[in-house]
Amino acid sequence: MLPVLIVLTAIELGSGIVLDTFEGTLLRYPTLLVLVPVTIGMAGNLGSILAARLSTALHLGLLSFDTDDDRLVGNAVATIGLAVTVFPLVGAGAWGLQTFLADARLPLATVVAVALTSGVVLAALAVAVTTVTTYAAYRFELDPDDVVIPVVTNVCDVLGVLVLFGAVEVLV
Amino acid sequence: MTVREVAEAAYRESLPVLALSASGGLFAGVVLGGMDAELKQVAGLLVLVPALLATRGNVYGSLGARLGSALHQGLVDPTFSTDDKRVNAAVAAALANGVMVSGIAAFLTVALLAVLGRPAAPLSTLVAIALLAGLVSGVLLTVAVVSVVFVGYRRGLNPDTLAGPVVTTTGDVVGIATLLVATRLVLALGGG
């Protein structure tokens, strides 16, 4: 497992470099710094729940990779629904904590809009990445428990940082 | 099961855990926000943050997934004991991987920043911080993962839905908190 971990760490350092590049913006708007771990964490969580469910369904022989597979489509729909539910609350929570602890320089509506936009885009990307990775593991006869969750969480982490800053560029 | 039934079941099972992990993630964010002095003092520490957090999620998330599948397949009993070879081997491998990869991440960070011509703290400082944070967070997360997966399974919860978010959440909080403690300790001992 170590070689896989090293490759994934190298990928993660890519998102670290992006953070380093945006360090000035993060320190100017600390609310965004509070959003960083929770946004990338939630993206990884949505992907890893989906991955674990698909992986167990695969182990038990209940999953087929068709666009009309009820289990596949139902889990994808749930992932988007969860993002739409949780991300606005995450934005409001980050704004609330920052207002309580320090001084929020961004309005509530902007922070919620940034969180929701990032969340919906990330959920769609998480579904795509998870489905493709699980299918690839299945085709190459690898155990999805070993492969899919690490790949999905890391790709979602990197995408999380990129999508968050995309949303900030557009909305702030 | 219809699409609607699958979606509703997945949504219902996942929402409480996601809400919990969102709270944890916000707490991790607040700790990160309070680390600005350390982030400025140790150049390269911010680069290391996603890699270290992800390592916690990867290593101990995989541990959770392995235990979850083993429970589903009936290969492991959800009881706490020190003589289950399958569980012991999984835990030892997770700890070794977690600590080693943390050190490697610090090496790669210094190399990458050198290539890019950006400022970086001394290699020994970043490696010491990464190894210390990796060891302490590894022990804490192993206890968390094994407890949550076993206790959850015994209470009839699906470990697949529990393990991922609980690991990434405790991983984020524990990861950032141990990183802060490790950084302060290494700086106090004269690193940096």
In this prediction the ipTM stands at: 0.83
**pTM (2 d.p.):** 0.79
Domain range annotation of chain A: 2-171
Tell me how close the Cα of A159 comes to any Cα of chain B, in angstroms.
12
User: What is the total count of domains within chain B?
Assistant: 1
State pLDDT tens for residues B47-93.
999 888 888 877 888 888 888 888 888 887 877 777 788 888 889 99
**pLDDT category, B108, cuts 50, 70, 90?**
very high
Give me the architecture of the A2-171 domain, per CATH. Orthogonal Bundle (1.10)
The reply to whether B126 falls in a domain is: yes
Hey, are the CB atoms on B54 and A98 less than 8 Å from each other? no
- Cβ distance A27 to B36 less than 8 Å, yes or no, reads yes
Q: Which domain holds residue B172?
A: 48-188
For the domain that residue B103 is a member of, what is the CATH number? 1.10.357.20
Domain contains B22:
no
Tell me the residue type at B173: V
Number of A/B CB contacts below 8 angstroms equals 230
- Least confident residue range of A13-27, A141-155, B3-17, B120-134: A141-155
What local confidence, expressed as pLDDT, does residue B165 receive?
65
- Ramachandran angles phi, psi of B152, nearest 5°: -60, -45
Q: Where are the alpha helices (DSSP H) in chain A?
A: 2-21, 23-28, 30-59, 70-101, 108-139, 144-171
Give the one of A74, A149, A157 whose C-beta lies nearest to B65's C-beta. A149
Calculate what percentage of chain B has a pLDDT beyond 70: 97
Q: In Å, how far are A88, A117, A148, A171, B173 from B26, measured between CA atoms?
A: 13, 18, 26, 21, 9
Tell me, yes or no, whether B4 lies in a domain: no
Look at B50 and A40 and tell me if their CB atoms are within 8 Å: yes
At A118-160, the pLDDT tens digits run 999 999 999 999 999 988 988 888 887 778 877 887 788 788 8
* Amino acid found at B84: D
